[in-house]
Amino acid sequence: MILNKQDAIYSATKLIKYFKDFNRIDDYFRARKIERVKNIPQALPGMGLEDDMFQAYDMHPEDMNFEIVQMQSKTFDTMLEMVASFSPDQAPGKEMKLIVKETNTNTIVGFIKLGSPLINSKPRNDYLGGTPDLPIFNKHVIMGFNIVPVQPFGYNYLGGKLMAALCNSHAVRRMLNQKYDTEFCLFETTSLYGNIKGSSMYDGMKPYLRYKGDTLSKFLLTLGEEIYFEMRDWFTEKNGGEDLIHKGASSRKLKMQTKMVGVVKASLKEHDTKAYEMFNTAMEKAGGVTTQKRFYMGEYGYANVKDVLLGKTDVLTKAENFDRFELEGIFAWWKKKAGKRYEKMVAENKVRTELEVWNQSTMDKIDIIR
């Protein structure tokens, strides 16, 4: 597909204008958050979803008990949007949505969304010694896309570490095994902010998570919903009513965006060399906004995960610390850390007592990087 010169300039200008205001990744996160928060309905006082979130800030971690609950509903998505700094677009493949509840208060302390892992990852390939066989790999690996504590539960009690450790628990692994009728043995996740922050909530989490290196960072950010649908429909019209990408394609939004950018480049190259060069420069700059992310792995207490993923064996072997990945072991590990943190916050009068949720009235009050 080649656009005429006028249409090529128009579409190039739209894309350049969208990306030009993002100088750092947090600029992009905030813009996407503002866009999505507009769709969260305003509840009457005392009747909002936030009332189901943990707010017992005088409670010591030793007195807490938890349960993990699967939740497949729009309510999960709305509550996650209220809590998370950034929630990625829907990924294809596997998906499991979990909430973690403190049972004494019957309130939610965190959200977890798991899904199929990224196809390619440098730290993973370095760990395995090459690109894995995808059919074997996809049977055994899951990725954490959102691991989000309710705030300030996260701040007061190291809630992010609890959520991440639970992702690596046998309890969650068994839920996944049952849902997908396979045997998971590797968990992956990445830090949200990359090298903007020198550390991550996933640091200091051995044996549950281990840092494996940084991802490669240069790629074009995903378009926001409003401009994406506007541009998608515009390109469909210019293409005689046919979508640029087949409706059943996996990762359709990403492929559609890539195709749109490719059509603009090809069209400008044919009609206007100077405009083509300007567009390439703008897209190159936009790609530079993304950051390297810290990459983490957990092996659920198995000793031979690498051999299983490389197809050398299909029998998993338990490591000596296998039982530490049961919920009892994880809660004991977390309560020791969280207790020290909470007592320090109390002693220094730093315990936060105001629930932090994203809505139209709090957009300028909450830091996007937390």
| Residue range 247-301, pLDDT digits in tens | 777 668 888 999 999 999 999 999 999 999 999 999 888 877 666 788 999 999 9
Residue 336: what pLDDT?
97
Count of C-beta atoms within a 10 Å radius of residue 216: 12
Q: Helix or strand or coil: residue 295?
A: strand
Separation in Å, CA 57 to CA 50, 68, 157, 354: 15, 21, 9, 9
For the segment 81-93, what is each residue's pLDDT rounded down to a tens digit?
888 877 666 666 8
Would 47 be classed as within a structural domain? yes
82 and 151 part of one domain: yes
Q: Helix or strand or coil: residue 147?
A: strand
pLDDT (tens digit, 0 to 9) for every residue of the chain, 370 residues total? 899 999 999 999 999 998 888 877 777 777 776 777 776 666 655 557 889 999 999 999 999 999 999 987 888 988 888 888 776 666 668 999 999 999 999 999 999 999 998 877 889 999 998 888 888 999 999 999 999 999 999 999 999 999 999 999 999 999 999 999 999 999 999 887 655 555 688 999 999 999 998 887 666 778 888 899 999 999 999 999 998 888 777 668 888 999 999 999 999 999 999 999 999 999 888 877 666 788 999 999 999 999 999 999 999 999 999 999 999 999 999 999 999 999 999 999 999 999 988 766 655 665 645 5
Residue 237: what pLDDT?
95
Residue 218: what pLDDT?
63
Q: How far does Cα 215 stand from its chain's mean position?
A: 14
Residue 277: what pLDDT?
95
CA distance 32 to 37: 9
Residue 353: name the closest of 46, 149, 57 by CA: 57
CA angle (228 as vertex; 224, 234 as ends), nearest 5: 155
Would 355 be classed as within a structural domain? no
CA distance 96 to 167: 11
Residue 194: what pLDDT?
57
179 and 69 part of one domain: yes
CA distance 161 to 369: 17
Helix (H) or strand (E) holding 188: strand 186-190
Residue 61: name the closest of 330, 349, 360, 369 by CA: 330
Would 364 be classed as within a structural domain? no
Count of C-beta atoms within a 10 Å radius of residue 125: 13
Instruction: Find the domain containing 159 and state its range.
Output: 40-218+298-347
Residue 4: what pLDDT?
95
88 and 192 part of one domain: yes
Residue 222: what pLDDT?
82
Would 353 be classed as within a structural domain? no
Q: Helix or strand or coil: residue 247?
A: coil
267 and 171 part of one domain: no
79 and 162 part of one domain: yes
232 and 114 part of one domain: no
CA distance 327 to 310: 29
89 and 172 part of one domain: yes
What is the crossing angle of helices 159-167 and 170-180, to 10°? 40
57 and 166 part of one domain: yes
Whole-structure pTM value: 0.81
120 and 195 part of one domain: yes
8 Å CB contact between 222 and 254: yes
Radius of gyration of the chain (CA): 22
DSSP 220: P
Residue 363: what pLDDT?
58
Would 365 be classed as within a structural domain? no
Tokens of 186: 């590797």
**What's the structural domain count of the chain?**
2
Task: Give the number of C-alpha atoms closer than 13 A to the C-alpha of residue 223, restricted to the C-beta side.
Answer: 24
58 and 171 part of one domain: yes
Task: Give the number of C-alpha atoms closer than 13 A to the C-alpha of residue 101, restricted to the C-beta side.
Answer: 11
8 Å CB contact between 100 and 68: yes
For the segment 8-31, what is each residue's pLDDT rounded down to a tens digit?
999 999 999 988 888 777 777 777
8 Å CB contact between 211 and 198: no
201 and 66 part of one domain: yes
For the segment 219-232, what is each residue's pLDDT rounded down to a tens digit?
677 888 889 999 99
259 and 137 part of one domain: no
Strands (E), the chain: 66-70, 95-102, 107-115, 141-149, 186-190, 210-214, 294-298
